[in-house]
Amino acid sequence: MKTSMYQTSIPTFIRVLNNLVAILEKGAAHAEARKIDPTVLLNARLYPDMFPFTRQVQLAADTANSGAARLAGTEVPAHESNESSFAELATHIRKTIAQLETFKPEQLDGTEDKTVTWQTRSSTRNMQGLPYLMNHVLPNLFFHTTTAYNILRHNGVELGKMDYLGRS
């Protein structure tokens, strides 16, 4: 059975990002209820050499958006990534979801063997489509989403596994 690149990517990206919006809302509510300056949570890190919460959220959204665009062969949408509040981060994610919803199965299905090329901070990378999706895009999306979840959880936000997984 052939893997549908569309079904493996777009619905998964959207589900993870919708769950991340709900996590952001819980973070904002926690800060408000406990009279915590939201910037404390937005700037929190798990370890000094890791990105702060805000950047983890931005990277989760940007990973999904750039992954889909590269597979589809469309231009990777540029974002300023200057969000400084829970509400702005949620808006960034919702815009990303809206962009992801524009992709059609025919844009992604059949890209399993397509060479995907992208620039990192230090090099140009190339991978075939299926390994790119399975070994790069999805793990990075899950990593940054999990790290954002863990930062809030570590700082006392009442989150559980179902907040991460979402309701079916």
CATH of the domain at 40: 1.20.120.450
Could you tell me the end-to-end alpha-carbon distance of the chain, in angstroms, rounded to an integer? 25
Q: Which two tokens stand for residue 83?
A: 């969000």
Number of domains into which the chain is organized: 1
Tell me which residue range forms the domain holding 95.
5-104+114-165
**Tens digits of pLDDT across the chain (168 residues):** 577 999 999 999 999 999 999 999 999 999 999 999 999 999 999 999 999 999 999 999 999 999 999 999 999 988 888 999 999 999 999 999 999 999 999 999 999 999 999 988 899 999 999 999 999 999 999 999 999 999 999 999 999 999 999 986
Prediction pTM value: 0.95
Whether residue 145 is contained in a domain is answered as yes
Give 118's DSSP letter: E
